Structure formats: structure tokens, C-alpha cells
Amino acid sequence: MPIDLTFRDIFDCKGCGTPCDGTSKKSFNFQADTAISEIAESEMIMRLNQFDSLQAQKVTDENAHLPDIEILKNDKVIARVEVKAQGRAFMAVSRLLPSGNLLPYETVALNRSDLLRYIKNFELENIPTFIVWRIKRPCIPDAWYGHDLETLNKSFEEYGDKRTFKRRSTQSDYVDGAHKGVTVNYHFSLKELLEITEIEKQILAISKTF
């Protein structure tokens, strides 16, 4: 059943009995975040492979610069899907990004450099690309949302820096001396996205053209 994302009491952070931490994290556990994302990727692959006409698989290590999942038909890549797992809400989004037209409950983030890389890759190969978020929050306990990259790019073109936030790096952003943590994010509203069943319908429609 679709979630009504109209602002109401359940989405009012001030009245939440189990609110997300409103203080900026001092430590960003990159490896733990990666593990959570990999679980979401596996779940998305299983969702897509329920359809007989689709073959979804994780990209190989040499293609790690591409979105997480490639969807094939007759050994041809027909679509790509990037998966993000999002837990705590960006509690300070209205204060830090006042022109972004966002509230905490509806806000999801994506590494800005990833977004720009996926846009560039789409322009090069013209393979339909989707970005989906697995949401688990006190007010939205379990939901999947996403959209096609072309639509998301329109949001980026409209808001740009108004929805971009850069945080300070911390020591936990480094793994074996290399900076791995995400410090610059672009933000979207769930209200601008589609529920996962609609994304699946779009991917199935693409498969029928091959």
C-alpha cells in the first residue's frame, strides 16, 4: 500500500518518541555502512530476479565505478540500478539547506560525485539507469523509493548547491590510509520519487523492447 508522504504528526520530528540523532555524527563507520548497503543490494537483486524476463546481478569489481546492479536480457545489459540504504534522517536539513525545500523525514542522500559519474556514464552508453533507496526510519520503517537517472538529473539541475551539503572529514572516513567516506552529498525528496513497484514496472517495460 502506498505511503502517504503528506506532512502530518507521524512525520513531525519534535513529537517522535524515537527520534533520529539530531547531532552530526562524529564518527562515520565506512565499513559498517558498506555492509548495510550490500545487504540492500542483495535484496534488490532478489526482487528483480523474481521476474522471469530479468537477470539481475552485481557488477564485477572492474566495473565498480558503475551502478551496483546490471540487468541483462540475452546477455545484453539493458538497465542499471544503484542501491542506497538510508537509516537516520538528516535532522538539520531545513536549517543547513534552507533553500532546498526539504524536511528531515522525506530527505534521502546520494554522494554527489557518484551522481555526476552516473550521469556522465549514462550520456556515454545510453543505458537506462535507476537509483533506489531502502528506507528504514522510525516514521518510515521499511520502504523502497527511486527514480530514473534522467528525472533525478532534472532535480540536480534545478537545485544544485541548494541541496548539496559538505561535512567535515573524520578519521573514520579513512580505510587503510585511503579516504573512503562520503563528505559531499546531494539530497532528494521522497515526494519526488516513485515506489519500488513503479520502478520494477519501468524496468519490465524496458525488457520487452529487447
pLDDT score for 2 = 78
Q: Would you say residue 83 has pLDDT above 60?
A: yes
Question: pLDDT per residue over 27-75, tens digit each?
Answer: 455 455 667 888 999 999 999 999 999 999 999 988 989 999 999 998 8
Q: Would you say residue 81 has pLDDT above 60?
A: yes
pLDDT score for 182 = 52
Domains, the chain: 27-207 (3.40.1350.10)
The region that residue 118 occupies, defined by phi over 0 for left and psi between -120 and 50 for alpha, beta otherwise, is alpha
Proportion of the chain above pLDDT 90, given as a percent: 70
Write the CB contacts of 129 (distance below 8 Å, at least 6 apart in sequence).
67, 79, 80, 81, 82, 118, 121, 122, 148, 149
pLDDT score for 31 = 55
Q: Would you say residue 132 has pLDDT above 50?
A: yes
pLDDT score for 177 = 45
15 or 155: which carries more pLDDT confidence? 155
pLDDT score for 107 = 96
- Look over the chain and give the mean of its residue pLDDT values, rounded to a whole number: 88
H and E: helices and strands count for the chain: 5, 11
Q: Would you say residue 185 has pLDDT above 80?
A: yes
Q: Are 110 and 186 in contact (CB under 8 A)?
A: yes
pLDDT score for 183 = 77
The amino acid sitting at 160 is G
**3-class DSSP assignment, residue 92:** coil
pLDDT score for 22 = 53
29 or 84: which carries more pLDDT confidence? 84
Which pLDDT band holds residue 15 (cuts at 50, 70, 90)? confident
d(CA 207, CA 78): 7
- Worst-scoring range by mean pLDDT, 120-124, 161-165, 176-180? 176-180
pLDDT score for 37 = 82
